[in-house]
A = this chain, B = another copy of it.
Amino acid sequence: MIRRANPTDFLRVWEMFKEVIDQKVYFSYDHTTTREQIEKSWINEENLVYVAEIEGEIAGAYIVKANQPGHGAHIANAAYMVDSRFRNYGLGRKLGKHSLQAAKAAGFRAMQYNMVISTNENAVHLWQSLGFEIIGTVPEAFYHFEKGYVDAHIMYRKL
């Protein structure tokens, strides 16, 4: 069950965001990132925050927001989190599909990811299977804690 988050869910969404940060292979945010910073940029009532529940527990979340201000605000951007206890439920795909519908319903014309880390092959394949294309690759955009500098893809699809 995927539903709009209430402000009372925001702590739980932050905990999942933080878990994903600490895994160091999905997001650029590093260990110094504070809840306050993420609440300014992602987890807030201006953005579309959704949570997925499995057996009454919040197991994942996504957040959709404009990728650019003003004259570029018709393209969405999003972040996705799956609690590591709920991997292998296909939740990433469900959140992804749901977010495309939610973004379209909110009036966005396209979805753009700025930083899909090339070593995160599951994510690259998931997004391709949902209709995204790699429209560019930024050389050495991400510092991977094991692999050093690795490329990151910019992925895009119309809604």
Contacts and interface: CB of A to CB of B under 8 A. Distances in A.
Given A74-B143, A141-B75, A68 B115 contact: yes
A104 B71 CA distance: 30
A135 B141 CA distance: 12
24 contacts: A24-B71, A27-B70, A27-B71, A28-B68, A28-B69, A29-B70, A30-B70, A30-B71, A32-B70, A68-B114, A71-B142, A71-B143, A71-B144, A72-B115, A72-B141, A72-B143, A72-B152, A74-B143, A109-B140, A109-B149, A135-B138, A136-B136, A136-B137, A138-B154
B138 A70 contact: no
A139 interface: yes
